[in-house]
Amino acid sequence: MTRPVATVCGTQVWPATDDDRLRTFLLSDLHVPMQGGDALDALLALLAEARADARRTRVLVLGDLLEGIVNERQLALHAWPELVDGLRAATRDGVTVTLLHGNRDFMLGARFARATGCRVVAGGLTLTLGGRRTLALHGDELCTNDVPYQRSKRWLRSRAVRALCAAMPLPVAALVGRRARAQSGRTMAAGDQGRFAPVEDAVRAVFAAGFELLVFGHVHTPAQGVLDGGRYFVLPAFDATATFLFCARGEPGFRAVGGRPVPRWGPLAFAPARGSHAEVRAPAAIVPPMTQPEPSATPDEDDQGPTEVVAIDGPSGAGKSTVARQLAQRLGYAFLDTGAMYRAVTWLFLENQHNDLSDEATTRALLADLDLDLRPGGTVLVNGRDVTAHLRSREVESRVSAVSALPEVRARMRALQRAIARRGPVVAEGRDMTSVVFPAARWKFFLDAEPEVRARRRYLEVRGKGREVTEADVLEELAVRDRLDSTRRDAPLTRTPQAHYIDTTDLSVEQTVDLLLATIRGERA
């Protein structure tokens, strides 16, 4: 049995047991939700690549494999068994997989290790990478200015709390997990955002301990550089980028699953230790790209659309429109209500009794004559007529998914949406903003919530506008809408790997806006 070989930044460091491997994949912050999705798909694709040369390959997950787990018995629920099976298949083939605890999956232990064949490490890992003595951490150890987080981390990982969590019934564990994620979102959005940055003195302590290379995640933004003669790599959030650090004999470098674009990176913006009045600063030296060229900063607009866009996707009732409208106001951007655009077309079809959607000639004729005008304040004009009051009618709501699925409609709306965005920065919300309309958007988000919560929100919204409806009716309508939106052939609702996933179940509109705004401002910096 191996033992810790050092303590760095208050964290026990364990030795790697697979330094004989020639290929190393390092990834962090996957946040795989219980429902699966793009993050799980990207991980399974990476594991397939690792299995192609299994006996010479190791995979290191530097924390936050899961979106949030309170009890290891939750591994049997929903899509997580697929994740367990994928890890088990890789380790059976000979890939060695090591998981470091993050702030969302520190309850993983012996049960997970037995089920997957993975090694679970409650701390850091020392290994050899590219011929250098390397320290791999989750990274939260370096963010010592985030005092509330560090306090909660110590409390949550205490023996008493861990025993309590392990004994929870599954429904209680799931509820606790959801509320903990919501509280985490509120905490991240509140207070001084600079507290999340790694502290320079903590990074210096790593290199002072004799390590030549430091690799960590937690802060979600890719970076690399040098400090005090040591080199560091900060791993981006895998769920948002499908990007990992790869090393095979030579220098390590960023790569992405399936040939996807690798995010731009630069030096890390360090924070001074708490109590210092110095500004957050980056180190003077910047390590140039090693194995991957930087992606183009100006993609072809004809294919990708404008870039100065905040793109927000999500299912009906997740709060996209309200959040996007308030976010646009706070950023000083225009608000592009794409849902209103599709509802306006639906109203036009109903008004002209165009009920046979297979009649392509009528569809093209109505679209050719369409004059759609979105006014400030939310007023929508169709061919000069104010139709705003009709857009949330039950007739429109029941038909909008079918109308939106027509390729001719989506092509016309996509052209209009891109034309509007080229006039200036916009916040755009919809169901294919991040994937189809604005794939080159600078900021991408996916808002979601529990179905019952989304139904309750929509029920209150439509009742407030005088429509008589039951909450059960709204829930049924949402279920139908979700199925239609996610299964249509042209631009279905999907969560792209680059989009930040925000669960708004327990968040107010203001808290959600604050969280998005903090993310945007953090990436701008």
DSSP state of 114: H
DSSP state of 315: -
- Sheet of 57-61, strands arranged across: 119-121, 96-100, 57-61, 23-27, 243-248, 253-256
- Alpha-carbon distance of 55 to 77, in angstroms, equals 31
Give 374's strand partners. Answer: 380
Q: Could you tell me the mean pLDDT of each successive run of 10 residues in the chain, 525 residues long?
A: 79 91 95 86 95 96 86 71 94 97 86 93 93 93 80 70 69 62 53 68 90 92 86 92 89 88 79 48 30 32 70 90 91 88 94 90 92 84 91 84 88 91 89 90 92 88 76 80 73 84 89 90 64
Catalogue the long-range contacts made by 42-46 (C-beta closer than 8 Å, 24 or more residues apart). Answer: 42/238, 42/239, 42/242, 42/257, 42/258, 42/497, 43/83, 43/86, 43/238, 44/82, 44/83, 44/86, 45/257, 45/258, 46/244, 46/257
Q: Does domain 6-259 have CATH number 3.30.70.330?
A: no
Largest separation between any pair of C-alpha atoms in the chain:
77
Nearest to 107 by CA among 77, 63, 47, 140: 63
Per residue in 416-472, pLDDT tens?
999 888 888 899 998 889 999 999 999 999 999 888 888 888 888 878 777 777 888
Per residue in 130-177, pLDDT tens?
889 999 999 999 988 877 777 767 766 677 766 776 776 766 666 666
- List the beta strands (DSSP E) in 42-196: 57-61, 96-100, 119-121, 124-129, 132-137
- Alpha-carbon distance of 290 to 301, in angstroms, equals 28
Q: Which pLDDT belongs to residue 84?
A: 92
- Alpha-carbon distance of 254 to 289, in angstroms, equals 9
Domain ranges, ordered by start, for the chain? 6-259, 301-524
Q: Whole-prediction pTM value?
A: 0.54
Task: Kindly report the length of the chain.
Answer: 525
Q: Which two tokens stand for residue 498?
A: 């680059």
DSSP 3-state of 134: strand
Q: Does domain 301-524 have CATH number 3.40.50.300?
A: yes
